[in-house]
Amino acid sequence: MIYYFIGLQHKPFSKVLVILGCSICGILGSYGVAWFGIRINTTANSRTSFAALRGNPLQTLFIPLQAGMSIGLLLICVELACMIGILAFIPADLAGSCFIGFAIGESLGASALRIGGGIFTKIADIGSDLMKIVFNLPEDDPKNPGVIADCTGDNAGDSVGPTADGFETYGVTGVALIAFLSLALALSPLLCAKLIIWMFAIQVLMVLTSLGSFYFNMVVAKFRYSDNKDFNWEAPLTDLVWITSIVSILVCFGASWLLLGDFTIGGLGEIHLPNLWWVLSSIVGCGTLAGALIMEFTKIFVSTKSRHVQEITTASDHGGASLNVLSGLVAGNFSAFWMGLVILALMFVSYLFSLNDDFMHLIPAKFVFGAPIFAFGLVAFGFLAMAPVTIAVDSFGPVTDNAQSVFELSRIEKLPDISAEIEKDFGFKPDFRTAKLELEKGDGAGNTFKATAKPVLIGTAVVGSTTMIFGIIMLLEHVFGDAVSRLSLVMPQIVFGLLMGGAVIYWFTGASMQAVVAGAYSAVVFIKTHIKLDTESASIEDSKRVVEICTRYAQKGLINIFIVVFCFALGLPFI
């Protein structure tokens, strides 16, 4: 960044320091929300385990959901505060560069946490689970030194990574839309400002909408399930997503009507755009609806009661590990296909809306090719309209997973006179059998909704990056002219870039899996050497050593991936 802004753009060092400050702010933002997320989830783990002893499944369900909602709300509020701060306090000639610096910073921070956390959790998971098979140990047996690393990995991979990823995705999508509008409407700053204000207003309202929907869903859940001791844990989570999606769409329409209902474009003569408010709201609604539809389609393949999951169970019973893996790959591939079709269908609907005359009037004739791309960016914007709820159901998974682990590791039911002690100190008689059952149900629901949230964040990144790419194309068109006509699939440079981009995906997959395999091997060797089956639990030092092994190999894999990907990105333009 220093070389680009000083060496190529010849900006004063004082201004470059401001840009670097925004980049550092992005890195610290990703780290900060991830730290908050893991702290909240770690606290919620034990609270959920203890609440399960009361035998009230609804109360147990609300604890991880409230923890996830607090993370989601903080994440979005910090993101909005940073972006509004750049708009309000950074000089106009630096705001664009600061936005780019901020986006780069949060992307770097989130990538490190996402990749490193993902490698860590898989090393720990594989190492711990293999030892269960080798020594015939039950789930989360304290004798296994890898259990603590496994629990740590659940937080690192399923809490830290997705939280930082959500922060980065939300910010980069917003920056992509702001950059697109700034480039397309460079000659109409007032029009650009109105649309950016509309975007931020919708974002703020969506935070309030998500919070209101959450409390409304709590009331509905208490009415439906308060007297029911055996309900499907997925039902209240599904209701929350649908309620938030519908209410967000309605609020978006109402706010757009208030802000853009009498929208006009000045110039030689004012042009009234009476349909713009509902066209923009419909496009954003496509993205908001996607959050609910993706959830439903994902549940078809990963829900504990789905046919595909039952097939995997049957395959495991009769064909062992080989058929288990193959059956899981079948479900995963079909799931990816249908996720792609859902996103494609909603993007197509948004494209049809973008053909509206009022929408087309927003984009200058020179950049008219970018009108559908702006619509795609708004679809990504709609994905994030219910971001607090998306993060909440995603964080629900690691909390319920570790809550079950905390319960098993505590061996609370084996402690002498523990029932009488709990009844004396807390006023209720614990039900250990029901608690274990409810925590297992929560773990299953958590795994399901971890899977439903990831496609939303990934889809947002894909659709949002499309807007960023076309923003770069518009910049090239503005600076050099005739850029669009020179970008064609028949050009060898374009073909080379597409092939290289596709090839890098497979290298990335291989490198991350190699890091996991190497780390898991080292963890397994250590655990097999140091496990003591004649003791009640593994030593603290052995558990720390397994965590250290997972951390070391995760860091090695992260550094390797970062160096090579950066070299690809920087080297390809010079080939």
Q: What would the pLDDT profile of 481-493 be if each residue is shown by its tens digit?
A: 776 777 777 778 7
Phi/psi at 264 (5° precision): -135, 155
CB 141 within 8 A of CB 132: yes
Determine the Cα–Cα distance for residues 23 and 443; give it in Å rounded to an integer.
Answer: 37
Q: What is the pLDDT of residue 246?
A: 94
H or E stretch at 9: none
Determine the Cα–Cα distance for residues 174 and 456; give it in Å rounded to an integer.
Answer: 16
Cα-based angle 509, 511, 512 (whole degrees, multiple of 5): 65
Tell me, what amino acid is at 288? Answer: T
Q: Calculate the CA 347 to chain-centre distance.
A: 20
Q: What is the pLDDT of residue 4?
A: 77
Q: What is the pLDDT of residue 267?
A: 56
Per-residue model confidence as pLDDT tens digits over 418-450:
888 888 888 888 888 888 888 888 888 888 888
CB 301 within 8 A of CB 332: yes
Determine the Cα–Cα distance for residues 60 and 567; give it in Å rounded to an integer.
Answer: 48
> What are 90's two structure tokens?
């950074």
H or E stretch at 536: none
Q: What is the pLDDT of residue 269?
A: 57
> What are 62's two structure tokens?
């609300």
Those residues of the chain that have pLDDT short of 70 are: 266-269, 483, 575
SS (H, E, C) 235-290: HHHHHHHHHHHHHHHHHHHHHHHHHHCCCEECCCCCEECCCHHHHHHHHHHHHHHH
CB 29 within 8 A of CB 78: yes
CB 150 within 8 A of CB 546: no
Q: What is the pLDDT of residue 264?
A: 81
The predicted model scores a pTM of 0.89
CB 137 within 8 A of CB 131: yes
- Residue 387's nearest CA partner among 486, 244, 488, 528 is 244
- Residue 288's nearest CA partner among 167, 389, 148 is 389
- Residue 339's nearest CA partner among 463, 201, 249 is 463
CB 553 within 8 A of CB 517: no
Contacts of 14 (CB under 8 A, 6+ apart): none
